[in-house]
């Protein structure tokens, strides 16, 4: 079961890193990670609270901030388990004309 949790951490880290670099993340990658989170609970490898703590630690280690720092302590009320609150930052806008 430790392999499952390690794989989840690696996937979260890849997702957070790609988003931090301004890259797109395929919805399928997020959905697979969410499915693995649900499977981890179903097979008894972890409970939702433990997975959220691991997710927060991975976010902190990868991006330098936790989800609670960015979205508020009640972020799970907006993103029910196992949903991951992953989104791209705003793209920089460069004017194409002088006016």
Q: pLDDT tens for residues 5-16?
A: 999 999 999 999
Helix (H, G, I), strand (E, B) or coil at 6: helix
Is-contact 67 85, C-beta < 8 A?
yes
* pLDDT, tens digit, 9 for 90 and up, residues 59-87: 999 988 889 998 999 999 999 999 999 87
How many angstroms separate the CA atoms of 66 and 44, rounded?
25
């Amino acid at each position: 079961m430790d392999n499952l949790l390690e794989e989840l951490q690696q996937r979260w880290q890849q997702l957070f890193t790609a988003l931090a670099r301004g890259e797109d993340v395929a919805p399928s990658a997020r959905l697979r990670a969410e499915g693995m989170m649900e499977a981890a609970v179903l097979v008894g490898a972890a409970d939702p609270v433990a997975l959220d703590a691991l997710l927060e630690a991975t976010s902190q280690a990868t991006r330098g901030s936790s989800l609670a720092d960015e979205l508020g302590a009640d972020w799970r009320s907006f993103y029910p388990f196992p949903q991951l609150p992953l989104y791209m930052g705003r793209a920089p806008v460069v004017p194409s004309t002088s006016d």
